[in-house]
Chains A and B, each alone.
Chain A
Amino acid sequence: MSKSVRRYVAPTELIDVARELLALGCRFQMAYHRHSGRSLEIVYLVDQGPNLEFLEIIVRSEGELPSLSEVAPLLSWYEREIMDLSEITFIGNPESFPLVVLNGMTLDGSPFDPNCDVQPLLSGTPASPSLPEIEASQVQDLFWGPIRADIVETGEFHFAYIGEEILHYTPRLFYKHRGIEHGLQNRDPAAGLILAERVSGVGTISHGLAYCLAVENAFGFEVPQRAQLLRIVLAELERIYNNLHFFAMLAKTTTLKVGEAFGLLLEEEAKQINAKLSGHRLLRNLLSTGGLRRDLNVGFLAFELRSLKAKVQDYLDSLANTQSYLDRLMETGILSADAAFDFGATGPIANASGLQRDLRVHHPYSGYDALSMKIPLRTKGDALARAEVRAESLIGAFDLIDQAIQTLEPGDINLYKPIVPVGTVDGLGWTEGPRGSCFYAVRLNDGIFERVKIKSPSFSNWKAFPLTVHSSNMMDYAINEASFGLTIAGADR
């Protein structure tokens, strides 16, 4: 596994360094703050390109830093989160209003500061958001949420619209903010895993595995090969049931009732296979730092998955032959390649907009380099392109499981009495989940967490999503949202 390299940069040089990196084709992945002794540092994680080590740009701060939002817009939300949770101000952030701590709420104390005497606490009552007013005749405001119809996650959306046309759209998330990064502080990795598995329920393996990889990277653990391959099986099973849910929702929003029912039934079949294999429908309680908690009997999987794959292929073919469905997806919610790159779109959203990126191929982990796979790519950037990319990655998941099972040999599934290093160690772990890239950056001292940063795929994609809603129309909103397949729990953490 490639580790990361570090580069310390002075605040005054930060913007120039960022421009330089972008000109070289690098891309920012995330930013977070951490306390190091008495000083505070901001860490920017940079992807330097396929198979190259990740770069950590570290800036020591004295309260104020230049914002990089204009150079790399995807960093804006990270900067706002840091501003909400610490004393730092980013000068020049174009959206300098709260993100994580909603209007009307106050956060006492500084959650990640070990020198802060106040017990941090979030209190108050969420108030109406303060939005720039649109002054034009007949513009209407619609606030939708935080509690919305149907079985959906909590989030509030604001539409400024005239008739059918949406002028501007603002999602207001973070109602569900649980402060999980803070909750992981002072825990040992074994106890923290249950929280990582519960950042996003439908991303149990994406998050859990990225967490384990980060800890294993910090501790220098080498996971046995059998465990690595079984982890791939779990990760791809997660991709299968998530993508089936995605197609059910796409059929639902395009009012294809029977198509929705088929999708939900296939998702249910996939979850029942998960349970038979792992004892848990969402694949929880299996991962451990160093391998797996117990060995898995994959004997029955090949047969069950072959039968499921045939049904899935038939389902996808049926959808691809349904004109009314295709009509609603074509040209809906177009995200350009530039916007996808600048605003940090990841996973199928990036692949549908012409960015051929996949951590499984470009920064392989957990033995993915031994398997062969193709990254789906489309350039149109509309809802149909996103659906096509998902369909390919769904079928690809079945193939990857086949390959993993074929190369599986008996062996250990966990480390024998691993030794936890003393002192301060850092680690980085990542996975490519069904929704895109998930990163965990950890710092441990004597085997106890000092800081954990979680970057979920939905946090990235929610940033890019509004670009496809502005100037679109109300009728297409639900379809467009379904075509992004976002989770809110992952973004809110």
Chain B
Amino acid sequence: MKNWTLKGLVAGKATTNWPNSGDNDGQDGVAGMPIFDPKQCSLGCQTCVQVCPTKAFSVEKNNLDEVSVSLDYGRCINCQICVETCPSEALKSSPQRAMVSRSKSDLVSSDLEGEPEVNRLQSRISSIFRGSLHLRHVDAGSCNGCESELGALNSPFYNLHRLGIFFTPSPRFADVLLVTGPVVPQMKEPLLRTWEAMPRPRFVVAAGTCAISGAPFDFGYSGGYGLSDLLPIDIFIPGCPPTPAELIHGLLLLTDRIDQKIHGGRNEP
């Protein structure tokens, strides 16, 4: 007969100290969202625009007929095809970096300067939940990659509970509606009914690129187009799927425990 309690005690602590201290977030080797620097785009070949399977790049012309390309991380599934095909230095691979944001506009690359805009009232309300935050997860048609990574948050390595964040079975007890999947037609109604059942104040976290924009499932008779037109998203966590560390970043940003690092699609200082 196995004594599991003893086995557990002998094994000792497996949980990382990150994000409180140290930098072992468990994501060694993970390829992050591509870094896009339009200033390095010397050739103007628009290869990225053509190869992107989710049409994350868009081309704009200003009134001087100058062409500019921008990248919407809310459509990026991090497939790395653009990085592999870019002939110049404009698109580069990066180590994992959490592209989590409070606004959709900060997910689009642009030459915005300064600090990201913060709704002071909103972040004050959500910061009340920094000690205890309850999430209701709804799968609105995901590939189960996001569920796999959300499940990892409960593993001893991340041990989400230590951060005061819990999953709850009932929407009545939930502060956050955490949605995965593109919201396919047959899931729209169950999702909205869950939202209606939640007490106020309540927040929406879109986890994964398809929950933001539907990409790459925004097609056909049973595709989905994300949450953007359905619910007021408080936190955007792009990724396919977002890693457990990115999910934690998003939840900490929601409760104002960290500052938003990305602005205009960039998180370089």
Task: Determine the residue in chain A with the shortest Cβ distance to B142.
Answer: A489
Return chain B residues, CB-CB under 8 Å to A122: 185-186, 221-222
Q: Is A473 an interface residue (CB 8 A)?
A: no
Q: Measured between C-beta atoms, what is the minimum distance from A157 to chain B in Å?
A: 14
Question: How does the 8 Å CB contact mask read for B44-79 relative to A, with 1 for contact and 0 for none?
Answer: 000000000110000000000000000000000111
Q: How far is the CA of A105 from the CA of B190 in the complex (A)?
A: 13
Q: How far is the CA of A363 from the CA of B189 in the complex (A)?
A: 44
Q: From known contacts A151-B167, A293-B84, infer whether A261 and B181 are also in contact, taking CB-CB under 8 Å.
A: no
Q: Are the C-beta atoms of B145 and A321 separated by less than 8 Å?
A: no
Q: Is B225 an interface residue (CB 8 A)?
A: no
Q: From known contacts A154-B187, A258-B4, A321-B2, infer whether A268 and B152 are also in contact, taking CB-CB under 8 Å.
A: yes
Q: Measured between C-beta atoms, what is the minimum distance from B22 to chain A in Å?
A: 16
Q: How far is the CA of A175 from the CA of B28 in the complex (A)?
A: 36
Return chain B residues, CB-CB under 8 Å to A204: 145
Q: Is B8 an interface residue (CB 8 A)?
A: yes
Return chain B residues, CB-CB under 8 Å to A319: 2
Q: Measured between C-beta atoms, what is the minimum distance from B135 to chain A in Å?
A: 9
Q: Measured between C-beta atoms, what is the minimum distance from B199 to chain A in Å?
A: 17
Question: How does the 8 Å CB contact mask read for B147-158 relative to A, with 1 for contact and 0 for none?
Answer: 111111011111
Q: Size band of the A side of the interface?
A: 35 or more
Q: From known contacts A202-B148, A293-B84, infer whether A261 and B156 are also in contact, taking CB-CB under 8 Å.
A: yes
Interface centre among B140, B152, B186 (most CB of A within 10 A): B186
Q: Is A131 an interface residue (CB 8 A)?
A: no
Q: Is B220 an interface residue (CB 8 A)?
A: yes
Q: Are the C-beta atoms of B8 and A258 separated by less than 8 Å?
A: yes
Q: Is B29 an interface residue (CB 8 A)?
A: yes
Q: How far is the CA of A179 from the CA of B155 in the complex (A)?
A: 33
- The residues in B between 134 and 179 inclusive whose CB is less than 8 angstroms from any CB of A are 137-152, 154-158, 167, 169-170
Q: Are the C-beta atoms of B146 and A177 separated by less than 8 Å?
A: no
Q: How far is the CA of A277 from the CA of B148 in the complex (A)?
A: 19
Q: Is B7 an interface residue (CB 8 A)?
A: yes
- The residues in A between 88 and 131 inclusive whose CB is less than 8 angstroms from any CB of B are 102, 105, 107-109, 111, 120-126
Residue from B144, B222, B224 in contact with A202 in the complex, judged by beta carbons closer than 8 Å: B144
Interface centre among A176, A204, A259 (most CB of B within 10 A): A176
Return chain A residues, CB-CB under 8 Å to B155: 261, 264-265, 267-268
Q: How far is the CA of A107 from the CA of B186 in the complex (A)?
A: 11
Residue from A154, A281, A282 in contact with B141 in the complex, judged by beta carbons closer than 8 Å: A154
Task: Determine the residue in chain B with the shortest Cβ distance to A267.
Answer: B155
Q: Measured between C-beta atoms, what is the minimum distance from B133 to chain A in Å?
A: 15
Q: Are the C-beta atoms of A265 and B185 separated by less than 8 Å?
A: no
Q: Measured between C-beta atoms, what is the minimum distance from B39 to chain A in Å?
A: 26
> Looking at the complex, which of A6-14, A142-150, A216-224, A385-393 is the stretch in contact with chain B?
A142-150
Q: From known contacts A151-B150, A275-B30, infer whether A178 and B217 are also in contact, taking CB-CB under 8 Å.
A: yes
Return chain A residues, CB-CB under 8 Å to B29: 272, 275-279
Interface of B is mostly: loop
Return chain A residues, CB-CB under 8 Å to B221: 107-109, 111, 120-122, 179, 182
Q: Is B182 an interface residue (CB 8 A)?
A: yes
Return chain B residues, CB-CB under 8 Å to A264: 151-152, 154-156
Return chain B residues, CB-CB under 8 Å to A378: none
- The residues in B between 195 and 240 inclusive whose CB is less than 8 angstroms from any CB of A are 216-217, 219-224, 240
Q: Are the C-beta atoms of A179 and B220 separated by less than 8 Å?
A: yes
Residue from A124, A146, A195 in contact with B190 in the complex, judged by beta carbons closer than 8 Å: A146
Q: Is A323 an interface residue (CB 8 A)?
A: yes
Q: Is B110 an interface residue (CB 8 A)?
A: no
Q: Are the C-beta atoms of B181 and A201 separated by less than 8 Å?
A: no
Residue from B148, B154, B187 in contact with A176 in the complex, judged by beta carbons closer than 8 Å: B187
Return chain B residues, CB-CB under 8 Å to A336: none
Q: How far is the CA of A478 from the CA of B138 in the complex (A)?
A: 20
A contact set with B: CB distance below 8 Å: 102, 105, 107-109, 111, 120-126, 146-147, 149-154, 174-180, 182-183, 191, 194-195, 198-202, 204, 245, 256-259, 261-262, 264-265, 267-268, 271-272, 275-282, 284-285, 293-294, 318-319, 321-323, 487-490
A-B contact pairs, 25 of them (CB 8 A): A107-B221, A122-B185, A122-B221, A146-B190, A147-B194, A149-B169, A176-B184, A177-B184, A178-B141, A178-B182, A182-B222, A194-B54, A195-B216, A198-B217, A201-B148, A204-B145, A257-B4, A258-B7, A259-B4, A262-B11, A264-B155, A268-B157, A275-B27, A279-B31, A281-B243
B contact set with A: CB distance below 8 Å: 1-2, 4-5, 7-8, 11, 14, 26-31, 53-54, 77-80, 84, 137-152, 154-158, 167, 169-170, 181-182, 184-187, 189-190, 194, 216-217, 219-224, 240-241, 243
Additional 4 contacts, C-beta under 8 A, given A182-B222, A280-B30: A198-B143, A201-B146, A267-B152, A318-B7
